[in-house]
Homo-oligomer: A and B are copies of this chain.
Amino acid sequence: MNIGDVAERSGLPAKTIRYYEDIGLIRPHRSANGYRCFVESDLHKLAFLARARALGFSIEDCRTLVGLYEDESRASADVKDLAQQHLRKIDAKISDLEAMRNTLSELVECCAGDDRPDCPILRGLAT
């Protein structure tokens, strides 16, 4: 398979796949013409990476997850720990965003939104 095929089948842009090779997440073989030559297991790994990234895991977390995935003697506790840490980060981000949303939506609701200059949003920011 060439990069275009795995891009389509994994849902990852070709650029991203090349980047993942650059940083050592995958190691596809090369054909005689220099093209990357992917086998099924490369595709499988890329799909794994795509899903882990979609769940918000960082690239370094993904590297660890792939390592655990390929380690037949892993302890599921290690995977769970990583996932729980990530879950806590997600929760923290959600809290931050909700705090922002609450403050901002209060200000927005107070704003007439007409052609006059008086604006509670700006007043709130300037306070």
Contacts and interface: CB of A to CB of B under 8 A. Distances in A.
Interface of A: 44, 47-48, 51-52, 54-56, 65, 68-69, 71-77, 79-81, 83-84, 86-87, 90-91, 93-94, 97-98, 100-101, 103-105, 107-108, 111-119, 121-122, 124-127
Nearest to A82: B121
A122 B68 contact: yes
A84 B121 CA distance: 11
A97 B100 contact: no
Contact of A90 (B54, B74, B76, B97): B97
A48 B127 CA distance: 8
B86 A104 contact: yes
A117 B74 contact: yes
A87 B75 contact: no
B44 A76 contact: no
